[in-house]
Chain A
Amino acid sequence: MPTEPFQIAGSIEDALSAMATGARPVAGGTDLVVGARQGKSPLPSNLVAVDRIVELSTIEQNAEGVIVGAGVTHATLMTDPLITSGYTALADAAALVGSPATRNVGTLGGNVMNGSPAMDTGAPLIVLGAMIDLRSQGGSRRVAPSKLWTGPGSTSASDDELCVAVALPKRSERSGSAYVRLEYRRAMEIAVVGAAASVELNDEGVIEQVAIALTAVAPTIVALEGLTDLVGRRVDEDVLAAVAAIASSQAQPISDLRAGADYRAHTVGVMARRAVDAAARRAAGETIEVPVNRAEGVGRTDRP
């Protein structure tokens, strides 16, 4: 067991060393500490604060794409030019998380490792083809989110593995992405349901690639299957209707205090079609401000 109940890591190595002897990492604490206050689970007996590790807080571009440090906050994700220009769905999602206070301390790595099926950043990571970099004293590995998230609040990572970064592959010029969620209020909200889409168009405006993932309709964030029929078509009303139908049919939601299962299955289709519509318009060069929820009035009662 570690000798100190609370340590502040100055480097990734410091954090891994503490975790090797049983300490659990805390970044912003917006899930971990809130969960303890709510009585979900007590705080771990030994904590290592990872929020001062400079190596975790950078966003860097390389030949393969962009590497986002696990300690990058939502406030940074929603404004960083690399994210808002190339990985806009992730910026849309980060801008919807909690309130300014939540976004100042909440981190992408914290979201990823908390493994909530309702996390706003999860569906964007899936459609953007993100890979998760984990490190322990035993070594490093890169894992797909779909292999990492095993159920509500559970992951395949071992206790001594720290999420150090999220790798986002390079995007084509003719691609766009978007995330929208159904919400009952505009702040301190958790997605009732949500959907992210990534669309790549060819020079004629025809779909070359499309990916869609859903929030809060299954034990984990889920990627939609059976989208290959959409390739080669224009994003018109028929395609958007097909998207909604596919999303609703593949959702396996539960009923809880936020919504019933039938309502979730229906509305996730609406979110999916709006996500694809916004992603395709961005791919075609249209500017839709981050987040789509505010720019397009999702959730407004006076929306036409």
Chain B
Amino acid sequence: MSDATHQEGGADAARPISYTLSVNEINYPVTTSPGSALLAVLRNDIGLTGTKEGCDDCECGACMVLVDGQPVNSCSYLAAQAQGRAVSTVEGLADSSDLHPLQQLLLDAGGVQCGFCTPGMLMSARALLDRNPNPSDDEIRIGLSGNLCRCTGYDSIVAAVRQAADQLDSSTGS
């Protein structure tokens, strides 16, 4: 079975290193092997399990997080390379008790079925809207093209992102 903590030798077997990771604006001191993937450190060392392990092969996007605002497949990104950078995960999306518009609209549109792709989908969508507040449907599909969903057929997800774009756009008054 694939496992993000799987030890492969080399840097995975090298002596541990200590550093600090900033995740959702909170600093976490961690001690990991130099070859540890960001996904494994988020889930197993820091305890933020919202980010999912799907393929562990950089294909499915379930592990998508943002590093300095850009989407990154955390299964294949070395955690040590994220030190000094701002990591954002799905846990940081909601504002205390209120869901982020992307989360609420995804639920409303039926864009969540089994839910396993949802955290990664949300992070890709957020990065897209941060850099392009008014994307076309094509741009939404390209923005989400690294995220696989086996349930929804994508249309409801694209619709939710479009609605979120409209809602966020009007709420910022731009």
Contacts and interface: CB of A to CB of B under 8 A. Distances in A.
A34 B77 CA distance: 9
A302 to B, nearest CB: 16
B153 interface: no
Contacts of A101: 61, 64, 70-73, 124, 146
A102 B56 CA distance: 14
Interface string A262-288: 000000000000000000000000000
Nearest to B33: A5
A195 interface: no
B75 interface: yes
Interface string B51-70: 00000111101001000001
Interface in B1-57: 6, 8-15, 17, 34-35, 37, 56-57
A272 B112 CA distance: 42
A30 B9 CA distance: 18
B17 A5 contact: yes
Given A6-B34, A105-B72, A186 B145 contact: yes
Given A26-B81, A38-B57, A45 B11 contact: yes
Nearest to B56: A37
B156 interface: no
B9 A42 contact: yes
Q: Do most interface residues of chain A lie in helix, strand or loop, or is the interface mixed?
A: loop
24 contacts: A6-B34, A8-B81, A28-B77, A30-B73, A33-B37, A33-B76, A34-B58, A37-B8, A42-B12, A44-B10, A45-B13, A47-B11, A49-B78, A49-B80, A98-B58, A100-B143, A100-B146, A101-B64, A101-B73, A101-B124, A102-B73, A102-B146, A104-B70, A188-B145
Interface string A30-46: 10011011110011111
A42 B34 contact: no
Interface string B123-159: 0100110000000000000110111000000000000
Contact of A42 (B8, B64, B78): B8
A101 B10 CA distance: 26
B146 A188 contact: yes
Contact of B78 (A4, A26, A186, A187): A26
A51 interface: yes
A45 B142 contact: no
Interface string A182-200: 0000111000000000000
Contacts of A98: 58, 146
Nearest to B138: A294
Interface residues of A, number: 32
A29 B145 contact: no
A249 interface: no
A126 to B, nearest CB: 26
A42 B11 CA distance: 8
B77 A29 contact: yes
A100 B127 contact: yes
Given A43-B10, A43-B12, A46-B11, A187 B146 contact: yes
A61 interface: no
A43 B8 contact: yes
A105 B72 CA distance: 8
A39 B11 contact: no
A99 interface: yes
Given A33-B78, A187-B146, A100 B57 contact: no
CB-CB nearest 7 A-B residue pairs: A99-B146, A187-B145, A42-B10, A6-B34, A5-B14, A43-B11, A42-B9
A300 to B, nearest CB: 13
Given A8-B83, A99-B146, 11 more contacts: A6-B34, A26-B78, A28-B77, A29-B77, A30-B58, A43-B35, A100-B71, A100-B145, A101-B72, A102-B58, A188-B59
